[in-house]
Amino acid sequence: MMEEKIHVEHQAPKLRIVEGAETKEYLLTETVRFGRRSKNFSGGIEVASGVVSRYHGDFTVDQERGTVSYLDAGSTNGTWYNGRMLAEGERCVLSDGDVLRVHGSEDPEGTMDVVLLFETGEQEMLPADDPKDVLSIWIEERSVINRGKKKTLLKDIHMDIPVGSMVLVLGGSGAGKTTFMNAVMGYEQADGQILYRGTDIYSEYEKMKYEIAYVPQQDLLRMNDTVMATLENAAAMHLPKGMAPEEVRARIEKTVLLLGLDRVRDSLVGKLSGGQRKRLSIAVEYIGNPALFFLDEPDSGLDGVMARSLMENLRTIADDGKIVMVISHAPDRAFELFDAVIVLAKSSRDDTGHLVFFGSPTEALAFFGAKNLEEVVRRINRVDEGGDGKADDYIEKYAALHR
């Protein structure tokens, strides 16, 4: 059954403009001219790139109809709209995710290209207190049979995660972080129930699996393909078969811009840096527009700057109405980007992983009396692993607060 739309939140439509390494945003509240920066240009959207004419085109805002359209003003290089060149005098009405591009004929590598991504500014919203607008996790137990004996890996994990959240998963050694993530995704079902906006992921898995994306720690990419070939293959796999070619192209362009891959679109995967390759792995999954995003140590092996940039990309994905769940062993590099942190700990009494904390990162520091999130993990790790060996104490403390 389709969900009833409660209301639509209206914001001014905007353009996200990528010019070289710079990205800018313009709110479209009135009709404006688009062109190259010059002393005679004022009151419009201006860029520095020489591939753009001084008067390149117009964005027309029709307040009565609630539409935005674009018309090329007879520019030298023309304007590409969702992968095709606009004809002279052709006006296009823009939809969410549409991509405009200006490309110079004497710049085959596209280093001077200017890309404009249109966003309507409208977002369907449910009331914040609507119980369906969450990922509800209720794991009674996750067990396996090992040599004829039952082994319990996780036990008593309950929480609700609102749509639009970026969540960090922390845990002591052997606490079951990957097992937990697999159980939530439905890859390895636990005894319990996982509901996304009221739909049971376990019982409706064949339908819900298309709403779930998983990025493993190891990049599974073909090194001899280009970035664009990789994304085109991903689009063919993840997007509906009947989708119009221009819509597919728009989705690819949006993904390229969102994940900072525009400058390497024609590069071989094998020539990418570690951070670029990881962003491409995320892009391969994001292109299908999943609702739930799970990542296992996406920042592993990256330096601080690259790891921070990657986490900012994930924050943008969460802000697009997704739930992003991340396992990381260097959480403090992006502390404030997370809405919540899940901490798992392995009890010495039953040798099972338990939920020891769920809340905001700041609340986690207060709960564990820690200065940073790495210290939180040290509190619950075993003594022989350099930790404080206090997992049982915190398991009891958290359970007492939620009885």
Range 7-125 has CATH code 2.60.200.20: yes
* pTM, to two decimals: 0.68
| pLDDT tens digits, 14-59 | 888 887 767 788 888 888 999 988 877 666 898 988 899 999 999 9
List CB contacts of 225: < 8 A, sequence separation 6 or more.
233, 268, 269
Chain-centroid distance of CA 222 in Å reads 22
Q: Which residue has the tokens 């564990």?
A: 368
Q: 10 Å Cβ neighbour count for 69?
A: 15
Q: Yes or no: say if 388 and 346 are a contact pair by the CB < 8 Å rule.
A: no
How do 340-346 and 353-359 pair as beta strands? antiparallel
Q: Which residue has the tokens 């005679």?
A: 40
Alpha helical stretches, state H, 287-386: 304-319, 361-368, 373-380
Strands (E), 245-309: 292-296
Domain made up of 128-403: CATH architecture: 3-Layer(aba) Sandwich (3.40)
Give the pLDDT band of residue 8 (cuts 50, 70, 90). Answer: very low
Can you count the helices (H) and strands (E) in the chain?
Answer: 9, 23
Q: Is a pLDDT exceeding 50 seen at residue 124?
A: no
DSSP state of 300: T
Q: Is a pLDDT exceeding 50 seen at residue 1?
A: no
Predicted local distance difference test score (pLDDT) of residue 41 = 67
Would the CATH topology of 7-125 be identical to that of 128-403? no
| pLDDT tens digits, 205-259 | 988 888 999 988 777 788 889 999 999 999 988 887 777 788 888 889 888 888 8
| pLDDT tens digits, 156-168 | 999 999 999 999 9
Domain range summary for the chain, segments of one domain joined by +:
7-125, 128-403
Residues in the chain: 403
3-state secondary structure of 339: coil
Mean pLDDT of the chain: 85
